[in-house]
Structure 1
Amino acid sequence: MTFNAIESYTKAYASFNTSSFPLENALIQSNRTCTLSESWEWIFSFQPIYMWIVFVLGFIENMFVLIVFLLHKKRCTVAEIYLGNLAAADFLLVCGLPFWAIYISNKFHWPFGSFLCVFINGLIQLNLYGSIYFLMMVSIDRYLALVKTMSFGRMRTGRCAKLNCLLIWIFAVVSSMPKTIFRRIRYFPEFNVTACVIDPPSPSWNVASGLLLTLVGFLIPVTVISYCSFHIINVLRNNSMQEFKEINKEKKASKK
């Protein structure tokens, strides 16, 4: 996101400073540049405020959820284990939002050094993959509980859930590595800013990274969640219809 934004800003700046086009084209280009500048000023002004609000609300709410789970006297259920790890992943995300809020308000000047450039963006990528797969595991758990109660009931144990969470954290770390290891502090003299950007080794890397995100971060979890939700809805609907028929039978029997 940051790299593309700065690249767009660079192109607009270069186009605006080109003197080889006619007057009519120059006026059009000037209007476009003004619109672009106004858009960026809006981002610099309002997006940090939005991030600070999300940080405050997310920090309080996720911290509350984590404290509740940690102080839980009874053994957590399978669903609670997944939801607790989901809250932990979201908590990591909101902890990185203040850095990005300051970064954007500084007009993409990163003042926190190379380590935090890599670390903070690594947390964001970690949340991206971790949260969606914890949600997927919640859907799978509900599917096993309602649809495959007899077949896979033994799989719904706390030990199995904790193992699944460990595997998801490892998977999230591995999946977030491509966009984390290529994070760099890069100086842009045309804007006099030192930005935290992704510096890919080749153009094909962007394509591969986009495909990985689309497949692993979207298509697979959404397909699994949709499949589980569809069958859960069918089971609940059939159960409701069966209960409705039994109630009607009881009413008819009582009238006789």
Structure 2
Amino acid sequence: MTLSPMSIPANFSHDAVDEYHNNTDSILCHFELSSWVPFVTGVYILIISVLGIILNVFVLVVFWLHKKACTVAEIYLSNLAAADLFLMSVPSVLAVTAATVDDWQFTDTLCKVLMFFPRMNADCSIYILALVSFDRYVALVHPLTDGRMRRPLYAKLACVMVWGVCFLLNVPTFIYSEATRDPEGNFTTCVLKDPIPTMYLVFKGVNEFCCIVLIAVISFCTVNIIHTLRNRIKNRLNTQKKEQKATTLVLVVLLVFMICWVPMQVVRILDLLSLLKILNGCHFLKNLHLCYFIFTSLVLSNSVLNPILYVIVGKTFQTKVKESFTQMSTTLSISQ
């Protein structure tokens, strides 16, 4: 059975030996992670997961409690918080397992869930951020079309489509994931069936291509937004203060996203090439696996940074927090 570099270790507490078949010369590749790497990774993921869950729940509660309906930007940001929340939930389970259990074996069903949901919600984050950047692009660069295109109903429909597309593109991951036991018999690992099914490769290829296009869209929109704002400042044109604040928030969120996600996207593309047997070799697979460990932590950090940025940069969100808690306090006082 061939182990994909993107598979999820079921137990980080052991000195796991990941095995890859070199498709060029059929030599079995072995390498070990230092004993401190799994422990440090597990603790870090646990801390990040707990913070991410608390902060993203806080963002969703504020949007839900506020008496006014969400704007188009807030609809996108609330869906982004939901995707981040779901993304953080699974790593927290893995981290607790890694830190507390020496020999916990995964079932096929659990492996399917653990490989499906993080990937689906990670993809949703990219798609929704593309919607956020396009929304800011229309509002700032093409304000005359603002009223026709930026409607809450359209935003809700776009988010429903994003969740549906991300779900469908990751169905093969759910179908073809399974649990396998390490040859030494001391831990289980979640892997893809061997040989890798053609349907999985097709869907993964489509998914990675879409993510590349979305990153290009995000970059295009961001560059044009910055250019437009500079021209307005240079020409001393008036801009709505609310739009300026929202744009500042989105630009910071997008910048953080690019730093956290682009390295992982490169790794995902390299993983696809390795599955297609275009790139192979023990040295390449070892480095790919190590990069996956590092950049996964970076991706998870993004899900914590987003809600923090809402509070630090988003003055509108700060106002909404104050109004929501004031409203809640008033309601509790009346009920008593």
Task: Please indicate, yes or no, whether the TM-score normalized by the shorter chain is above 0.5.
Answer: yes
Give the conservation status (yes or no) of the 8 Å contact 1:110–1:195. no
Aligned to 1:21: none
Q: State how far apart, in whole Å, the 2-side matches of 1:89 and 1:114 are.
A: 24
Aligned to 1:73: 67
1:186 equivalent to 2:180? Answer yes
One-letter code aligned to 1:144: V
Q: How far apart are 1:119 and its partner, in Å?
A: 1.6
Give the conservation status (yes or no) of the 8 Å contact 1:2–1:196. no
Q: Decide which of 105, 109, 127 is 1:115's aligned counterpart.
A: 109
Q: State how far apart, in whole Å, the 2-side matches of 1:107 and 1:10 are.
A: 22
Give the conservation status (yes or no) of the 8 Å contact 2:178–2:191. yes
Do the aligned partners of residues 147 and 54 (structure 1) sit closer, same or farther apart at CA in structure 2, a change above 3 Å counting? Answer: same
Q: Decide which of 78, 85, 101 is 2:95's aligned counterpart.
A: 101
Q: How far apart are 1:192 and its partner, in Å?
A: 3.3
Aligned length: 222
Q: How far apart are 1:71 and its partner, in Å?
A: 0.5
1:129 equivalent to 2:123? Answer yes
Q: Alignment RMSD, CA only? A: 3.1
Residues 34-90 of structure 1, C-alpha deviations (whole Å, 9 max, x = no match): xx54x3422221111011111111011001001001101101100000000000011
Give the conservation status (yes or no) of the 8 Å contact 2:105–2:187. no
- Higher relative CO (CA 8 A, sep ≥ 6), structure 1 or 2? 2
Q: Decide which of 221, 246, 249 is 2:214's aligned counterpart.
A: 221
Q: State how far apart, in whole Å, the 2-side matches of 1:40 and 1:66 are.
A: 39
Aligned to 1:196: 190
Q: Percent identity?
A: 35
Give the conservation status (yes or no) of the 8 Å contact 1:139–1:225. yes
Do the aligned partners of residues 187 and 235 (structure 1) sit closer, same or farther apart at CA in structure 2, a change above 3 Å counting? Answer: same
Give the conservation status (yes or no) of the 8 Å contact 2:83–2:124. yes
SS at match of 1:44: helix
Q: How far apart are 1:109 and its partner, in Å?
A: 5.9
* Larger gyration radius, structure 1 or structure 2: 1
Q: How far apart are 1:232 and its partner, in Å?
A: 0.9
Give the conservation status (yes or no) of the 8 Å contact 1:59–1:91. yes
SS at match of 2:188: strand
Residues 192-234 of structure 1, C-alpha deviations (whole Å, 9 max, x = no match): 32222222543766754653343122x1111101111111112
Q: State how far apart, in whole Å, the 2-side matches of 1:105 and 1:44 are.
A: 9
SS at match of 2:144: coil
Q: Decide which of 49, 55, 58 is 1:61's aligned counterpart.
A: 55
Q: State how far apart, in whole Å, the 2-side matches of 1:2 and 1:133 are.
A: 21
Q: State how far apart, in whole Å, the 2-side matches of 1:175 and 1:187 are.
A: 27
Do the aligned partners of residues 103 and 2 (structure 1) sit closer, same or farther apart at CA in structure 2, a change above 3 Å counting? Answer: farther
Q: State how far apart, in whole Å, the 1-side matches of 2:199 and 2:34 are.
A: 27
- The worse-fitting range, judged by mean Cα deviation, of 122-131 and 194-203 is 194-203
1:212 equivalent to 2:212? Answer no
Pick the structure with more helix per residue: 1
